[in-house]
Amino acid sequence: MSLLEVENLRTYFFTPAGIVQAVDGVSFEVDAGESLGIVGESGAGKSVAVKSIMGLIRDPGRIVEGSVRFDGRELTELSEAELRREIRGNEISIVFQDAMSALNPVFTVGSQLEEVIVENTDRSPSAARERAIELLDDVGIPNPDRRIDEYPHQYSGGMQQRAMIAMALACDPRLIIADEPTTALDVTIQAGILELFDEIQETHDTSIVYVTHDLGVVREVCDRVSVMYLGRVVESAPYEELYRYPKHPYTQSLLNSVVTPDEILDEINPIGGTMPSAVSPPSGCRFRTRCPEAVEECVHVTPRARQVGDSHTAACLLYDESNSHEEPTLREITNQTND
């Protein structure tokens, strides 16, 4: 059994403009000590998927179907109070992209860190301070005994993100979810944070779910990767396997669009067009409107994840011989939860 099992998760947002099918039938697993990258362009539903795990979806959003099992326990059935008491912080913690807005500007970094420790462990306030200094030291903040009493604005962007990671580590969670934690940082600062994630995984044996749009970052941090497109996982594989043998046409074109400083390409071949709206996504395969391989069948059949290699799956009719399954309609899904 994996530590985290997400199965057929659907998270919709019920807006006046229509139902946004942000996450629509997503499944993935994370083993203990493993790091999974979730990669995709903006609007793919990566953030919504990981926030659903933590029960952080707010109105008008709702998990309409599917299950999230953590260590065998069904998280979608827990109440807000149970999630807060038993899961968030001490079992699963999350690091967001924008550290400055996640830290409270009127309290010192130390007091915020100590609060988390006192809340979630049975340490005394003075022991919590000691632990806080230790954590700041662990995440590479210089002179932690002095800097613990500083306010967030006195920290640089990279330091703020390190402080957030210290907070996420405070209660020794078994899973850390990182939602684009380095996107706003300079590459030189990002490099240090990526090394820190590697270190955390090694020394604490923590599982990591790392959300990013950058395949280079996935390569640095993750063992496996799931590629998302418009609310669905289109391909999953160990990172190297995915890079060398991409199967899904979307993954292939994503890899073709990447520019790197290490090679000069005469011409990049990006995917044409833009991602359609998640309010009225294309029927059948959602990538078909931009897919160079699309055939008539793609309009009618929703491809399911098929084994295409060693622990490598892709959801594309190219690899699906028995394509005679039917997806529930939107009406069926939303009615189900309203009952």
Partner 1 sequence: MGVEVIMSAGSQQTGDTADAAGQPLLEVSGLKKHFPVNSGLFASITFDRDADGFPITRDDSSVKAVDGVDFALEAGKTLGVVGESGCGKSTLARTILGLEEPTAGEIRFDGRPKDEIPEAEFRKRSQMVFQDPQSSLNGRRRVGHIIEDPLEGAGWEKARRRERALELLEQVGLKREYYNRYPHEFSGGQRQRINLARALSISPDLIVCDEPVSGLDVSIQAQILNLMTDLQAEYGLTYLVISHDLSVVRYIADRVAVMYLGEFVEVAPTDRLFTHQYHPYARALLSAVPNPDPDMPGVSSQLSGAVPSASNPPRGCRFHTRCPSFIIPDGFTAEAYDGYDRLRSDVSERSLDPEVNDVSSALETYVPELASVAGDRRAALESAVSEALDGEWDRAERTLESEQSPCQAEAPSLETAGDPAHEAACHLSFETPSDADSGSTEDGRR
192 binds partner 1 (CB under 8 A): yes
CA dihedral 274, 275, 276, 279 (to 10 degrees): -140
Q: Which SS3 state, helix, strand or coil, does residue 308 take?
A: strand
Q: How far is the CB of 269 from partner 1 (least distance, A)?
A: 8
Q: Which SS3 state, helix, strand or coil, does residue 230 take?
A: coil
Asked if residue 249 has a cis previous peptide bond (ω within 30° of 0), the answer is: no
310 binds partner 1 (CB under 8 A): no
d(CA 137, CA 199): 13
CB burial readout 38-60, b (16+ within 10 A) else e: bbbbebbbbbbbbbbbbbebeee
101 binds partner 1 (CB under 8 A): no
Span of 2-10, 61-69, 212-220, 326-334 interacting with partner 1 by CB under 8 A: 212-220
C-beta of 63 vs 200, nearer to partner 1: 200
C-beta of 105 vs 272, nearer to partner 1: 272
C-beta of 82 vs 265, nearer to partner 1: 265
42 binds partner 1 (CB under 8 A): yes
55 binds partner 1 (CB under 8 A): no
Member of 74, 205, 265, 307 binding partner 1 (CB under 8 A): 265
Q: How many other C-beta atoms are found inside a 10 Å radius of the C-beta of residue 174?
A: 18
Q: How many other C-beta atoms are found inside a 10 Å radius of the C-beta of residue 263?
A: 6
191 binds partner 1 (CB under 8 A): yes
C-beta of 53 vs 222, nearer to partner 1: 222
100 binds partner 1 (CB under 8 A): no
d(CA 289, CA 10): 22
240 binds partner 1 (CB under 8 A): yes
Member of 90, 219, 318, 319 binding partner 1 (CB under 8 A): 219
Closest by CA to 33, choosing from 175, 231, 185, is 175
Span of 63-71, 117-125, 258-266, 308-316 interacting with partner 1 by CB under 8 A: 258-266
Report whether 97 contacts 181 (CB < 8 A).
yes
Residue numbers at the binding site for partner 1 (CB under 8 A): 41-42, 156, 158, 186-188, 190-192, 194-195, 213-220, 239-240, 243-244, 253-255, 257-262, 264-265, 267-272, 274
